[in-house]
Amino acid sequence: MEPVRISKLMAQRGLCSRREADAYIERGWVRVDGQIVKELGTKAMPNARISLERQAARRQTDKATIILNKPVGYVSHQADHGYRLAASLIRADTQFHADRARRVFDPAHLRGLAPAGRLDIDSQGLLVLTQDGRIARQLIGDDSGIEKEYLVRVEGRLSSGGLAQLNHGLMLDGQALRPAKVRWQNEDQLQFILNEGRKRQIRRMCEQVGLKVVGLKRVRMGQIVLGDLPMGQWRYLREGERF
């Protein structure tokens, strides 16, 4: 086994992001095999025991993760062409009145807040925004297997064998898609459960089998469901909730 940068090991283990790891190392908040490490770029064996000091653990606990019911007409990432960013909806007056997280909105929770996964401007539903690199990696990392569930209204005539193809067998941009779970909810609505997130994936999948998407709503990411969260409102991820 070859030594690996400690920051990379920490990210691989889901302790934090590599950027956060470097910040913790600089502050002396990381122990490797019981010894404090302060020098950036320090390496350790892949099986080394790594732990965080209380200061780092406390800082992670203070980070905000927000569940938003994004309306159509807002973009999840960088705004352009005059479109509004979904993050602009995160305000004190739009916090869900039944939020059980027992956290009061603090403008500091907007600092470094970023979407963990995209939701197109013409799609609605559950969008996760977080300050916590561990959660972002869990949801959108290359090795993420978190399920995302969508309700999709469609028009058109499904091609012969189209439903089977939606479940497994389609390609996008020259790459095979992972197996999905797709079934009819009613005569014009499909349920999609995916564990990947290519750009406009569901719309492009439907086009390949003769369907046009006319409405798309994400209702679940992992164990977190949209539930009764009203459109345009948000809540904090509660202590003990897991994706």
Rounded to the nearest angstrom, the gap between the alpha carbon of residue 219 and the centroid of all alpha carbons in its chain is: 13
Contact 173, 242 (CB under 8 A): no
CA contacts within 13 A on the Cβ side of 18: 11
Burial class (CB within 10 angstroms; exposed 0-12, middle 13-18, buried 19+) of 156? middle
Instruction: Quote the tokens at residue 67.
Output: 């569940």
Give the residue numbers marked as catalytic: 120
The CB density around residue 19, as the number of other CB atoms within 10 Å, is: 11
- Give the position of tokens 């994004």: 70
What tokens appear for 28 in the block? 């002396």
Helix (H, G, I), strand (E, B) or coil at 169: coil
Tokens of residue 108, six digits: 């500091």
Q: Are 205 and 177 in contact (CB under 8 A)?
A: yes
CA distances to 32, 41, 70, 204, 221 from 17, rounded to whole Å, are 17, 15, 26, 32, 21
